[in-house]
Amino acid sequence: MVALSDRKIEIVKTLVQSAPDKIVGGLQKALAETGGDTVLASVRQLVEAEARDRLLRNAVFQPVAPLFVGDGSDLHSLVFPAQALTYIWRGLKASASAEMATVAAATAAIEKAIATEQRVPDPSMPYNAVVKLAAEGLRAAEQRDFKTAAEICEHCRPGAAEALAACLDITPIVRRTLPRLAEWVAQAGDETSAPARLAYKDSVAIAEDAGPRFFEMLAAQLTPPWMVLRIISAIMDKPTERYLADSELGGFPERVMAEIDDALKAISKLDLDGGPEAGRRAGRMVELITQQVFELEVCIELTREHGWGHRIVGQKKTLANLVEARLREAEKLTTAALPMQSSGFARPRKSGPKLDEPPEARNVVRAMTLLTLAHEIRLCTNYGGFSAVHAKVTEKLSGLADHYVEEVLDHLRTGDVAEVGNAHAFLLIAADVVSLTRDDKAAELVRRRAASACVPPPDSAVVLDA
């Protein structure tokens, strides 16, 4: 098998080095089973080497690595171009070979300790030493790669290069907090606030304006990032909204409230023709808003009459109004998806399922969109302020589906159905309604009854459901 030429290998190497981490990881998986005697063997070796190098790079820059996102153009959070980290790493390789060798040795010692189930050594000292050199190189911008990294940052946002260097300055402190970050978010009290305050003080001791950068770096390590509000609250002992708004950290809750406003707009523009997936997305946004509002109310002393408190009260009211309107619309569309018709001349007229025509596809899709939304938000209705309407609508629609199923099955038993296929289709829709308003077990029972009632026997007569 002919191997790739040196020129082609160099082209592939350049492409791989400039690719995002996800692409490199995907290539590594795709080439994992490539044999040693194939034309792609050299490519696999190249990709594996690049993947190992990036793991080392991300470990060294772990406290700041999540801040390198895309082209770094996000104006609402502290981010830097991902390409800048690539050039910083190249600059370290070119100008600090001895320190980089120490980092590689420390990483190898960690891997050996894990493999032999021994105590894992702390690599913080060699890692932090390299990060310090990176900050110095970025500020000096004399070496070619560091200069390129600084120019990339400045092109994205004036002052971004110095902001990145300032983040690198407090990287050792943030690195020290990472093992305890989950504990700080999960638990409140002196055991959490004391070490968090100490880390914060150490950061501002390096630079008076380091506070916001410290919390931005912590937020980037959290999922979701706005959970950093808990740490801010612990350090500031649950501040009043006025105190926090006037501080340099006021941008964090402002950012969360802006996200809530954006989510409310998205929910109001829900595409009813988008189907269950659109309903799930809207439902997740509703749940997210309730979580964000809860964090704001727990972490900050708010007043309902003005300021942030007044704004949050308005957001909760808007959310409740939007959800309740969608729930009422779900009731109308579900009724349209399972149509009934009046029959006979007696008073009052008896109504029954309309089975002479197939289901109206648009009504069904729209109903399922909103029923999926209702199903997704079932766990946050109390805090969202729409539990009464949600319970009323879901109970009513569950009963409607039950009644509809029994009516259709009764028509099938009596042979009063011209198009059995239509009946079966409506029964399956009713089963979906039951699934979203009650549970999957009840829905599966409806589907089994539908299958039994709608399968014709050998003589083409309808099999009756006992």
Dump pLDDT digits (tens) for 393-444.
Answer: 999 999 999 999 999 998 888 887 778 888 899 999 999 999 999 999 999 9
How many CA atoms lie within 13 Å of 424's alpha carbon, on the beta-carbon side? 12
pLDDT at 322 over 80: yes
Q: Which residue has the higher pLDDT, 333 or 28?
A: 333
> Is residue 46 a part of any domain in this protein?
yes
Q: Is residue 315 situated within a structural domain?
A: yes
Single out the residue in 186, 215, 244 at which a domain terminates.
Answer: 215
Note the pLDDT of residue 377.
96
In this prediction the pTM is 0.83
pLDDT of residue 420: 86
Shared domain for 279 and 209, answered yes or no, is no
Q: Sorting pLDDT into bands at 50, 70 and 90, what band is 27?
A: low
Strand partners, 68: 80
Q: Is 293 a domain residue?
A: yes
- pLDDT interval class at 4 (50, 70, 90): low
- Please give the pLDDT value at position 453: 82
* Domain tally, the chain: 2
Q: What is the pLDDT, as a whole number, of residue 40?
A: 67
> Residue 438: its pLDDT value, please?
93
Q: Are residues 380 and 441 in the same domain?
A: yes
Are 338 and 433 within 8 A, CB to CB? yes
Considering the domain architecture, whether residues 434 and 374 belong to the same structural domain is answered as yes
pLDDT at 52: 83
The pLDDT value given to residue 20:
67
> pLDDT digit string (tens) for 150-189?
999 999 889 999 999 999 999 999 999 999 998 888 876 6
Nearby residues of 219 by Cβ (< 8 Å), 6 or more positions away = 77, 225, 226, 227, 228, 252
| Whether 22 and 144 share a structural domain | yes
Q: Is residue 238 part of a domain?
A: no
Q: Are residues 211 and 288 in the same domain?
A: no
User: Has residue 45 got a pLDDT over 80?
Assistant: no
Does one domain contain both 148 and 286? no
Q: Is 68 in the same domain as 151? A: yes
pLDDT in tens, 140-157: 999 999 999 999 999 988
Cα gap 27→18, rounded to integer Å: 13
What pLDDT is stored for residue 212 in this prediction?
Answer: 94
8 Å CB contact between 181 and 222: yes
Residue 464 belongs to some domain of the structure: no
- The CA–CA distances, whole Å, from 67 to 206, 271, 274 equal 20, 33, 34
Please indicate, yes or no, if residue 233 is contained in any of the structural domains. Answer: no
Q: Give the residue with greater pLDDT, 435 vs 31.
A: 435
pLDDT at 350: 59
Residue 252 is assigned to a structural domain of this protein = no
Which residues are registered as beta bridge partners of 80? 68
| pLDDT at 463 (0 to 100) | 37
What 3 state SS string does the chain have?
CCCCCHHHHHHHHHHHHHCCHHHHHHHHHHCCCCCCCCCCHHHHHHHHHHHHHHHHHHHHCCCCHHHECCCCCCCCCCCECHHHHHHHHHHHHHHCHHHHHHHHHHHHHHHHHHHCCCCCCCCHHHHHHHHHHHHHHHHHCCCHHHHHHHHHHHHHCCCHHHHHHHHHHCHHHHHHHHHHHHHHHHCCCHHHHHHHHHHHHHHHHHCCCHHHHHHHHHHHCCCCHHHHHHHHHHHHCCCEHHHHHHCCCCHHHHHHHHHHHHHHHHHHCCCHHHHHHHHHHHHHHHHHHHHHHHHHHHHCECCCCCHHHHHHHHHHHHHHHHHHHHHHHHHHHHHHHCCEEEECCCCCCEEEECCCCCCCHHHHHHHHHHHHHHHHCCCCHHHHCCHHHHHHHHHHHHHHHHHHHHHHHHHHHHCCCCCHHHHHHHHHHHHHHHHHHCCHHHHHHHHHHHHHHHCCCCCCCCCCCC
Q: Does residue 429 share a domain with residue 325?
A: yes
Nearest CA to 210 out of 219, 197, 201, 198 is that of 201
Q: Can you give the residue range of the structural domain that contains 284?
A: 261-341+358-454
Residue 151 CA to its chain's centroid (Å): 32
Residues 283, 377 contacting (CB under 8 angstroms): yes
Q: How confident is the model at residue 458 (pLDDT cuts 50, 70, 90)?
A: very low
**Residue 399 covered by a domain:** yes
Return the pLDDT at 464.
34
Could you tell me if 209 and 265 lie in one domain? no
Average pLDDT, the chain: 87
Q: Return the number of other C-beta atoms located less than 10 Å from residue 80's C-beta.
A: 26
The answer to whether residues 266 and 162 belong to one domain is no
Q: How far apart are CA 371 and CA 255, in angstroms?
A: 31
Q: pLDDT tens digits for 57-98?
A: 999 999 999 999 888 888 778 999 999 999 999 999 999 999
Residues 209 and 294 in one domain: no
Structure confidence at residue 194 as a pLDDT band (50, 70, 90): confident
- The per-residue pLDDT for range 300-318, each reduced to its tens digit, is 999 888 899 999 999 999 9
Tell whether 273 and 209 lie within a shared domain: no
